[in-house]
Structure 1
Amino acid sequence: MTITGAKKKEKIDRLAEVTARDERGVSLWQEAFRRLRRNPAAIVGAAILTVFVLVALVGPFLVPYGPTDTMGIREGVIKPGVIPGPSGDHWFGYDHQGRDVFSRMIVGARQTLLVGVVATLIGLAVGALIGGVAGAAAGLGGRWGRMVDTVLMRFIDMLLALPSLLLAVSIAALLGASLTTVMIAVGMVSVPVFARLLRGSMISQAGSDYVLASTSLGVKKSKIALTHVLPNSLAPVIVQATLTLATAIIEAAALSFLGLGNPDSAVPEWGVMLADAQPYLGVRPALAIYPAVGIIITALGFTLLGEAMREALDPKLRK
């Protein structure tokens, strides 16, 4: 075989290998991950969230000053109508009580992340339980199943009839001001969204061929719902959880701003910091700008990543 023939054979073998690799089946999540890697919005959102999570987890151990240390008052630099701004030692300056704002922002990121994640998990758990039962009952449960679905969905409709912020404020007011109250209130607001989404996804999956095949083989409907229908219905719910994290952070900050969050303002949290800065907007508006920008950028990161995930997983939105 000549050298030219050998090169041609090598190219043909390499092309055949690439073609075989491309024709090999990939899972839905693998294909979605490929699309996410090519989506600029997903990359930007992931970068923002990576920085935010690292700051929230590692930052509190590296802050230069204690977030509750009133060093400005002790040093005599805080005076009526005077709040020093950024300097070489204090990058974001002092707040009205002489505390280092940069240290409080870093430590407050952990509280904000904790509230957003726990509130989303509460909403996801309760909503998935209601939506899963309703979806399985409506799709596979017959006449009695449809009755169960009707009762559960009317309860969800009652929650949807109330404005989300009003519902969160009502729950927080009933339970009393605390960080745990904020998590529960914000989590309950997202319950109807998760319940409706999972129910609809399970009902659409109930008419699939694999469900018909499993039923014809005599598999119990409860097993079909738990081991086949439910796992195949979770993709849109996971995407919604990413989007809900953004709204959870904003709503938690709103409740803290209204005084329904942690009653101890010494514990840094971005919503509390935003509320504490209101009386001093004329003296130093940056005290409100720092936590507001932190909330906006974090919510933007979750929104960008969530929208990109929805586009990658939804066949109707794929480019």
Structure 2
Amino acid sequence: MTIISRKKKEKIDRLAELAARDDERGVSLWQEAFRRLRRNPAAMVGAVILGLFVIVSVVGPFLVPYAPEAQHWKDEIRVGFLPGVRAENWFGVDHIGRDQFSRMIVGARQTLLVGVVATMIGLAVGSLIGGIAGAAAGLGGRWGRAVDNVLMRFIDMLLAMPSLLLAISIAAILGAGLTTVMIAVGAVSVPVFARLLRGSMIAQSNSDYVLAATSLGVRKPKIALSHVIPNSLAPVIVQATLTLATAIIEAAALSFLGLGNNDAAIPEWGMMLADAQRYIDIAPRLAILPALGIIITALGFTLLGEAMREALDPKLRK
């Protein structure tokens, strides 16, 4: 045996040994996705932004120097003048003498609360509709297809309306308020989750393991609940991360239009942005700060969501 052949054989043996070692360890889909996320710079930037946002939202309100509704500097307000950045007011003072830094920190918690609750509403309702439609279409026979058609036509009706217009319509019907904003923004995301889960379940229903379970006599409802739905959730979870970004923006838009929280004592970034429009010429920071908060937070969710999509979807992996 020549030296080149011996080296080639040793290299093949090493590769086979490494492959066998990987097979012995076994790596799940989520473990492999987490490995890819750790090697993705965009995912790390998004995770850092979200980590800071969550820490500020949870811990910050307990550490702010002033109550967000306290008007300690009301007497310093003059026509055409608002106190700016200084030692006791890191972000200056708003139009009625409240500390802007304290309001930004407390407003982060309200923004996170609205985004998370709205996304959970959309995820729960959309997954319920999509799960029923997907199980009916993939495993339900003739009657199942009829149920799928009825549910999907309802989803198509929701998709026919622009998302912001649909949210405004729901908020206008229910009346202004923080709960209304959560319901309106959550309703907008229902069609996305429903169609995504339905499509994923239909794709999974054509898999070999479904055929094998059916051949063994396993009942179709059990196949759907125990196998098809769990294997279809990965794209839905990724979409939930991306929806959080749009939920925060849409909630801020509703608050900006006056359909959000009516209690001025409870700050929220969208409402703060709306209040700042009247003073944009003398104190642009009042609008810039909440706008930057919304943009950076949405960017963090988007970066992490896109990285998760790439890590979980074999077609998008680099």
Q: TM-score range by the shorter chain?
A: over 0.9
Shift of residue 18 of structure 1?
5.5
Is 1:22 matched up with 2:41? no
Partner of 1:9: none
- Which AA in structure 1 matches 2:67? G
Q: Which amino acid aligns with 2:41?
A: P
The question of 1:314 aligning with 2:287 is answered no
Provide the secondary structure at the position in 1 that maps to 2:73.
helix
Aligned equivalents of 2:26 and 2:208: distance in 1? 19
Residue 88, structure 1, aligned to residue 125, structure 2:
no
Q: Sequence identity, in percent?
A: 80
What code does the residue aligned with 2:84 have? G
Q: Which amino acid aligns with 1:267?
A: I
* Paired amino acid for 1:174: I
Q: CA RMSD in A?
A: 1.4
CA 1:155–1:16 in structure 2 vs 1: closer, same or farther (change >3 Å)?
Answer: closer
Q: 17-26 or 280-289, which moves further after superposition?
A: 17-26
Distance in 1 (alpha carbons) for counterparts of 2:110 and 2:85: 24
Shift of 1:19: 5.2
Please report how far the alpha carbon of residue 17 of structure 1 lies from its aligned counterpart in structure 2 after TM superposition. Answer: 7.7
Deviation per CA, 1:229-258: give whole Å up to 9, x if none: 000000000000000000000000000000
Query: What is aligned with 1:271?
Result: 270
Establish whether residue 77 from structure 1 lines up as the match of residue 76 from structure 2. Answer: yes
Unmatched 5+ stretches in structure 2: 1-13
Deviations 1:19-50 (A, max 9, x none): 54333321110110010000000000000000
1:140 paired to 2:130: no
Q: What is the 5 A alignment of 1:1-319?
A: 20-23=20-23, 24-73=25-74, 76-319=75-318
Distance (Å, rounded) in 2 between the aligned partners of 1:119 and 1:177: 15
Where does the alignment leave 5 or more consecutive residues of structure 1 unmatched?
1-13
Q: Secondary structure at the match of 2:93?
A: coil
What is the rounded CA distance, in whole Å, between the counterparts of 2:143 and 2:19 in structure 1? Answer: 51
Measure how far apart 1:15 and its partner are: 9.4
Distance 1:285 1:22 in 2: 57
* C-alpha distance in 1 between matches for 2:247 and 2:274: 18
Superposed CA deviations along residues 143-169 of structure 1, whole A, max 9, x for unmatched, are 000000000000000000000000000
Instruction: Tell me which amino acid in the other structure corresponds to 1:252.
Output: A
Distance between the aligned counterparts of 1:114 and 1:85, measured in 2? 29
Cα distance in 1, alignment partners of residues 222 and 19 from structure 2? 39
TM-score by length of 1: 0.94
User: What's the secondary structure of 1:277's corresponding residue?
Assistant: helix
Question: What count of residue pairs does the alignment treat as equivalent?
Answer: 305
Distance, in Å, in 1 between the alignment partners of 2:48 and 2:194 is: 30
Letter in 2 for 1:30: Q
Q: Secondary structure at the match of 1:71?
A: coil
State the distance in 2 between where 1:42 and 1:21 align. 28
3-state SS of paired residue (1:240):
helix
Task: State the AA in 2 paired with 1:36.
Answer: L
